Amino acid sequence: MGPSGVGKRTLIDLVLKDYGDIFARKKSCTTRPIRENNEKAQENFNFVSVDQFQRMVANKEFVESRERSAGCFYGTATAELERIKSSGQIPIIEVDVEGAVEINRQAVEGNFLFIYPPSFEELRRRIGNRIETEQEFKVRIREAIKQIELANNSVLFTNRLVNDTIEDAKDQLITLIKALYF
């Protein structure tokens, strides 16, 4: 877990490169549109209609779900976690703090990690490099501050690391994985 711009996806990719036989990234269900020129979208998301998503919520098919922006819903399907577990792997679940709290509330076993930026200035730079509009930048900064505050006030995240450089963060994460799983 961690706000936009802290390197969650990059760190997950690095872990999967070394430990892909043990871990697998779960795909989120979403109603958001597929972004142009994003060839990895199908790897990370199952795109569904709003009606289909709402049926899945009504049928209690998610361990966590929520509307992140107007009409854009995201969720972690129980079936997706079961698919990964049935293959003998451990799912890596990338969600926001509210999603982690809901997963914990649903009694899904896991180790919760929060990734911090090295500074607020660096977070602003990283987010600024990823977005296209000033409005989107403001929304992402507000959401990042909210996520950090929620994590700081939660006992759920017993594991925390600062992504100052990707090499150091990877080393810290691998050390944590070895301590927890080997």
**Is the per-residue pLDDT at 5 higher than 70?**
yes
Q: Indicate if 66 belongs to the active site.
A: no
Q: What is the pTM of this model?
A: 0.85
Mean of pLDDT values over 79-96: 94
Supply the pLDDT for residue 38: 63
* Tens digits of residue pLDDT in 155-175: 899 899 999 999 999 999 999
Would residue 142 show up in a list of annotated catalytic residues for this protein?
no
Tell me if 41 is assigned to some domain: yes
Residue 2 included in any domain? no
Q: Which of 35, 68, 124, 142 is catalytic?
A: 35
User: Residue 132 — pLDDT band, cuts 50, 70, 90?
Assistant: confident
Q: Is 124 considered catalytic here?
A: no
Q: 67: which DSSP letter?
A: E
CATH number, domain with residue 136: 3.40.50.300
Span 26-44, average pLDDT: 80
pLDDT digits (tens, 9 = 90+) for 52-85: 999 999 999 999 998 887 778 999 999 999 999 9
In-domain check, residue 1: no
Is the residue at 108 inside a domain?
A: yes
- Average pLDDT across the chain, whole number: 90
- Whether the pLDDT of residue 126 is over 70: the answer is yes
Q: Are strands 90-92 and 23-25 parallel, antiparallel or unpaired?
A: parallel
pLDDT at 31: 94
Is the pLDDT assigned to residue 39 strictly greater than 60?
Answer: no
Is residue 57 in a domain? yes
- What is the tally of structural domains in the chain? 1
Q: What is the mean pLDDT of residues 100-125?
A: 91
In a domain? residue 3: no
In a domain, 157, yes or no: yes
Which is catalytic among the residues 9, 55, 105, 130?
A: 130
The boundaries of the domain holding residue 144 are: 8-181
Residue 174, Cβ density class (10 Å: 0-12 exposed, 13-18 middle, ≥19 buried): middle
Q: Is 130 helix (H, G, I), strand (E, B) or coil?
A: helix
Rg, Å, the chain Cα set: 16
Asked, for residue 39, whether it belongs to a domain, the answer is yes
Where do the DSSP E strands lie in 18-164? Answer: 23-25, 28-30, 45-47, 62-69, 72-77, 90-92, 113-116, 159-162
